[in-house]
Amino acid sequence: MNRQSQGGGGSNPPVIGFGPGGQRRGPGGPMGARLNAEKPKHAARTVKRLLSYIGRSRWLLAALLCIMVTVTVAELTGPYFQAEAIDAFYIDEATGALRVELSSLKRSLIAMGCMFALAAVLSFVQTLLAARLSQQTVYTMRNDLFRKISKLPIQYTDTHNHGDLMSRMTNDVENVSNAVSQSVTTLCSCLLTIVGALSMMLYYSWQMTLIALLTIPLSITVTSKLARFMRKYFVAQQKLLGSLNGQVEETVTAYPTVVSYGKEADAVARFGATSEQLRDCAVKAKVWGSVMGPIMNFLGNLQYVLIAATGGWMVYARVGGITVGSIQAMLQYSKNFTRPINQVANQYSSILTALAGAERIFEIMDSPSEIDEGRRTVNVEELRGHVEFKNLQFGYVPEKRVLQGLELTVAPGQKIAIVGATGSGKTTVVNLLTRFYEVDGGEITVDGINVTELPKSTLRRAIAIVLQDTVLFSDTIRNNICYGHPDATHEQVVAAAEAAGARKFIERLPDGYETVLAESGSNLSQGQRQLLAIARAVLADPKILILDEATSNVDTRTEMRIQRAMQRLMENRTSLIIAHRLSTIRDSDRIVVIRDGRVAESGKHEELLALNGEYAKLYNSQFAGEVT
């Protein structure tokens, strides 16, 4: 056989003491509609948005692409030099002896070794850059998501599972991170390898290339069919994981209630049911995600056999100038051609998981942000606290009105108590004044200015809220008191604690004001937590003060201490007091009774008792020991 020569190829102002959702209202519970059948998603749109995040690190991406191109070229030149080395051995037709071109063999081996070494070094650099690109991408995405969550309306967080929101911030973002660091770089590398391998295959033999391509339509058909079938399992898996996180968060938060009612077994059963669903769905997703790889390996091996058989026949028949080295190169390039397809198949489950997670992330990002049309420039210090509710109409759901024409005027510095049966709309009035929800009709004014004209930051800086469920952060006592006034001096902090009646117990703590609170301040008593919330409100120096059931969770002695602190806090401030314990509001300037979304009665304690109306019924039933 004659030796054939081969050519060269050459980031809102804080609301004091306010926790999410003073009143949980709205369509559906926290778990509402989380497990419904998933509607078809827009994968192409999600990929485009995900690529826009990756593209923000354009210089890093450009460097990574350059290295990937270099690695691909280095790897693809290996089979070429390998073919050269094999063809350095040939049969001398004149003598029938085996000959070797040592210079060609040495040159090919050295070149092949250098290319493989270069590919190995650059592959390591590629891994480092891919990790950097991945973390930079998810860093940006995570910050955008958290910034979006901070701008969501209270209504959104009131009607969505908190555990599911946390899952999107953690699990879904982590899945995207893994996809960017592994799957995205793999896809780009695979595309370059496919193009390069196909080019080299055509360079050696277009006949064998056509034989190799016979399996491609079958591969595409199998891939597309399996992809459509698998997708539903990966989307359902992410939704179930979010639901499971929500159940854990809900159970841990409400654990004392679960235990007190003896519902541990029910909680375990509910968790087990969802966990079982997740297990079954995850198994199906994993099984079907793993099926594609073996199928693609079989098709690749089939292609290998076809090329080897065709190449052997062409050498035997002396067709197309094919050599043994050429066949070896074609076999290597055919592997390089099919291997990327197998890699994509093996990565498909990760890609689907990441896309499902990215869709859930973008779903939050696409949710409407809290509306703030207020453009009127007002200095908070200039506000006096004159509040008016005019013909207020509102319902958490359209078909059920909570407030129906409520009218109420609160003069500056006046102390108004709002009472009524559960569900009458007491807390709703607060939610509308602070613009956690928007009114359906009527208007609310502060000093004659419609609250919609005031920037929400200005409005909320003028208001402080002390709730029955005190909100404290895992931070020092000092920082908790300074939450609404971060620039306060130590003297101001101490004065606020003194005014709230909290100074003594704070200074008895080992670290005083630098004592770090446990989660939600659980290392303090309920009364101490409430006093800190009052101190925080004192330091914020609000124009309008809202006390929402601020003493309902404490004993009588602690309640007296808190009441004294609140009396000092309410001096010369417009105050709205929502209370079930009617004994705590007897000295209010005016008591307003809400019934059926309207003001039913209004007056002082003695006047309302004399009327023998709604307030008298509430008061008498409470002191008679009846449930109101």
Compute the average pLDDT of residues 59-85.
84
Scored b (16 or more CB within 10 A) or e, 180-210 reads bbbbbbbbbbbebbbebbbebbebbbeebbe
Compute the average pLDDT of residues 578-600.
83
Q: Tokens 């050498």 belong to which residue?
A: 315
CA distance linking residue 151 with residue 371, whole number of Å: 9
Give pLDDT tens digits for 363-413.
888 888 888 877 888 888 888 889 999 999 998 887 788 888 889 999 998
Q: Give the H or E element holding residue 467.
A: strand 463-467
Give pLDDT tens digits for 118-127.
888 988 998 8
Q: List the helix and strand counts (H, then E) for the chain.
A: 21, 12
The pair of three-digit structure tokens given for residue 525, joined into one six-digit string: 């008593």
568, pLDDT greater than 60: yes
52, pLDDT greater than 80: yes
Q: Give the H or E element holding residue 114.
A: helix 102-150
pLDDT at residue number 375? 82
Bridge partner residues of 598 (DSSP): 595
pLDDT at residue number 9? 36
Q: In this predicted structure, which of 444-448, 479-483, 582-586 has the lowest mean pLDDT? A: 582-586
Q: Tokens 């595309």 belong to which residue?
A: 191
Give the relative orientation of helices 324-365 and 43-54 as an angle to the nearest 10 degrees: 90
What one-character DSSP code corresponds to residue 448? T
With cut-offs at 50, 70 and 90, classify the pLDDT of residue 517: confident
Dihedral sign from CA coordinates of 29, 30, 31, 37: positive
The pair of three-digit structure tokens given for residue 220, joined into one six-digit string: 């595409």
SS3 355: helix
Q: Is 405 left (phi over 0), alpha (psi -120 to 50) or beta?
A: left
CA distances from 195 to 9, 36, 272, 453 (A): 15, 42, 49, 60
Q: In this predicted structure, which of 172-186, 406-420, 481-495 has the lowest mean pLDDT? A: 172-186
Q: Which of 609, 624, 155, 158 is nearest to 419 (CA)?
A: 609
Question: Is the pTM value of this prediction over 0.85?
Answer: no
pLDDT at residue number 92? 66
pLDDT at residue number 380? 84
Q: Which of 174, 201, 179, 183 is nearest to 83 (CA)?
A: 201
137, pLDDT greater than 80: yes
pLDDT at residue number 40? 31
Widest pairwise Cα distance in the chain: 131
What one-character DSSP code corresponds to residue 369? P
Compute the average pLDDT of residues 46-59.
83
Across 338-439, where does the E strand assignment appear?
387-394, 403-410, 415-419
pLDDT at residue number 320? 67
pLDDT at residue number 389? 92
SS3 404: strand
SS3 489: coil
276, pLDDT greater than 70: yes
The pair of three-digit structure tokens given for residue 206, joined into one six-digit string: 């277009």
Taking the CB of residue 215, how many other CB atoms lie within 10 A of it?
A: 21
Q: Give the H or E element holding residue 444.
A: strand 441-446
478, pLDDT greater than 80: yes
Q: What DSSP letter does each residue of 545-585 carry, written as one string?
A: EEEESTTTTS-HHHHHHHHHHHHHHHTTSEEEEE-S-GGGG
What one-character DSSP code corresponds to residue 41? P
pLDDT at residue number 345? 66
Q: What percent of the chain shows pLDDT beyond 90?
A: 5
Q: In this predicted structure, which of 345-354, 436-445, 569-578 has the lowest mean pLDDT? A: 345-354
